[in-house]
Amino acid sequence: MAEQKRADKDRKIRSYIYDKLTIDTLGKMIDKKCINEVMGIIKSGKESKIVLGKDLNGNTVIIKIYMIATSSFTNMMQYIQGDNRFVKIGKTKRKIVETWCQKEMRNLEKAHSVGLSVPKTRCVRNNVLIMDMIEDGGQIANQLSKTILEDPTVFFNEVKEMMRILFKDADLVHADLSQYNILVRDEKPVFIDMGQSVLKNHPQVKTFLKRDVKNIVKYFNSLGVETNETDLYEFIIAD
């Protein structure tokens, strides 16, 4: 009976994910009781797939799968090189993607440890990261880009404060922050997609922070919020 149940789960996994490493990894995560069930893909991109799953208690979780065959390794390396947490990572595609997956987990944990609203990680293995699902009203929370805010200025101030706490307390810069990497839960922001996030001592940290600032200012200006890049940047780095 147990073997049949496992075989059924393996077939379900294969119907969504065709990479052998990922199939094996998910199977081992099931064996280790990190997850109980793999459901359906909700987002599929060049570098990753977002899949819904269930834990042993029936709670919905997010399974983030980094794709080895199609990820942009040159792009990934600019965020990994210079990070003293990841010095000996190897040069194969697989090792780079696995390092990226570990990097996202550690960045999320670092942000979570200073009280920021980010997905809570559960476990990681190879190219697969399991996280809590961010819910809003019993549904998967929407991206900021797909949300009509009641008060854009209040929401901007929340984002602004989170960017400062991330920089000052977690020693991190998101490095890809925009309306597409912020979810809205109860009219408050949740930062997601932090694989590329870098430590404050990264050689390109100023470039990445200025890019984040530019993206956020441009978006909230479009919503009628009065802000500018200089003021936001200075607010984030101020002692």
Q: What is the pLDDT of residues 41-61, one digit of tens each?
A: 888 877 889 999 999 999 999
> Does the annotation count 8 as an active-site position?
no
Q: At what angle do helices 2-16 and 20-31 cross, to 10 degrees?
A: 140
Q: 3-class SS at 102?
A: helix
Please give the pLDDT value at position 108.
Answer: 98
Catalytic residue selected from 193, 212, 231, 239: 193
Check residues 95 and 146 and name the one with the higher pLDDT: 146
CA of residue 214 relative to chain centroid, distance = 20
Domain boundaries of the chain, sorted by first residue: 2-132, 140-237
pLDDT in tens, 7-25: 565 555 555 566 788 889 9
Reported CATH class of domain 2-132: alpha beta
> Does the annotation count 24 as an active-site position?
no
Largest CA distance in the chain: 63
140-237 carries CATH number 3.90.1170.50: no
Structure tokens at 213: 């600032």
pTM above 0.95, yes or no: no
Catalytic residue selected from 10, 132, 176, 186: 176
CA distances from 193 to 27, 108, 176, 228 (A): 24, 9, 8, 24
Please give the pLDDT value at position 43.
Answer: 86
Average pLDDT of the residues in 219-234 = 98
Q: How far apart are CA 104 and CA 64, in angstroms?
A: 10
Mean pLDDT score of the chain: 90
Please give the pLDDT value at position 181.
Answer: 97
Q: How far apart are CA 176 and CA 174, in angstroms?
A: 6
Q: How far apart are CA 45 and CA 94, in angstroms?
A: 18
